[in-house]
A = this chain, B = another copy of it.
Amino acid sequence: MKRSLGPKTLVYPTPVLVVGTYDKAGKPNVMTASWGGICCSQPPCVAVSIRKVTYTYGNIMARKAFTISIPSTDYVKQADYFGLVSGVNTDKFAVTKLTPKKSDVVDAPYVKEFPVVLECRLLHVLELGVHTQFVGEVLDAKVEEAVMGKGASVEIKKLNPLVFVPDALDYYGIGDFIGKVFSVGQGI
């Protein structure tokens, strides 16, 4: 039996995306967002939704670029902190002792210590309501050698990313292997 919860945004899992930008003085900033994901394969695009009141909003609009750094669970405290305070009057890199690294392809910094990084140029801005959705074309994806599996793919259990749970407001990790995509369904 299903219970009607009304108009709520319940998607499971959602990611933990750390959005990197420069402000007008060139100070690197990061904020954590979970409303986002992949939105196109070609051109390769990701979407992330940001509220207008954030420092990041103005930075993306001005610089037309952002990065997405994906933290492993080891960095849950830092990733959570990035969502707690504003970059207007805080240097979040200095407080967390993490390292801003300038992207070599877009005008934005990323978190050097985080294992997966997407460097994006702004393609679309979609005003939705409380959130504005930014669609970025991924110009490069950079991945720590330590989280690469056999072949050229990231091994998710080495990456160990955070899962954001909406509504309950919990972070979880990744569990067991369940099956291969485009394969387990062939038995039906």
Contacts and interface: CB of A to CB of B under 8 A. Distances in A.
Interface of A: 1-15, 17, 34-47, 49, 68, 70, 73, 76-84, 95-96, 116-118, 123-124, 126, 128-131, 133, 135, 137-145, 148-149, 152-156, 159, 161-188
A169 B98 CA distance: 31
Given A1-B144, A47-B47, A76 B179 contact: yes
A140 B4 contact: yes
Contacts of A144: 1-3
12 contacts: A2-B117, A4-B140, A11-B17, A13-B174, A15-B37, A35-B37, A40-B130, A78-B185, A80-B182, A84-B182, A171-B180, A174-B175
A29 to B, nearest CB: 16
B178 A141 contact: no
A96 B188 CA distance: 7
Given A40-B133, A174-B175, 12 more contacts: A5-B140, A9-B40, A11-B68, A13-B161, A14-B37, A40-B128, A45-B131, A73-B178, A76-B178, A80-B179, A81-B185, A163-B175
A12 to B, nearest CB: 4
A31 to B, nearest CB: 12
Nearest to A152: B5
A38 to B, nearest CB: 4
Contacts of A163: 13, 156, 163, 174-175
Contacts of A142: 2-5
B156 A165 contact: yes
A14 B118 CA distance: 15
